[in-house]
Amino acid sequence: MEVRIGVQHTAREIVIDSGAPPDEVEQDVAAALDSGGVLTLRDERGRKVIVPADRLAYVDISPQIERRVGFGTA
């Protein structure tokens, strides 16, 4: 699943491919916002991303879309 994180006062967004289920990522974001601490997410390759919760502009959680190749795909 792809997670895009917008950070205030930053032109680029952070994009990670997470192996966690969407509900778990949503709970992590909500917990970080409630506590005022940091949002910590880990991607599929083990990279850790830490963002201060007060700097979050948005978090876009999108499911992984299977790409189809060939003439017979619908």
The whole domain housing 56 covers 2-62
Specify the CATH number for the domain of residue 50: 2.30.30
Say if 29 falls within a structural domain: yes
DSSP result, the chain: -EEEEEETT-SSPEEEE--S-HHHHHHHHHHHHHHTSEEEEE-TTS-EEEEEGGGEEEEEEEPPPPP--STT--
Q: For 16-62, what is each residue's pLDDT tens digit?
A: 999 889 999 999 999 999 999 999 999 999 999 999 999 999 999 99
Say if 25 falls within a structural domain: yes
Counted domains in the chain: 1
Say if 40 falls within a structural domain: yes
Q: Are 2 and 25 in contact (CB under 8 A)?
A: no
- pTM beyond 0.85: no
Say if 71 falls within a structural domain: no
- For residue 2, pLDDT beyond 80: yes
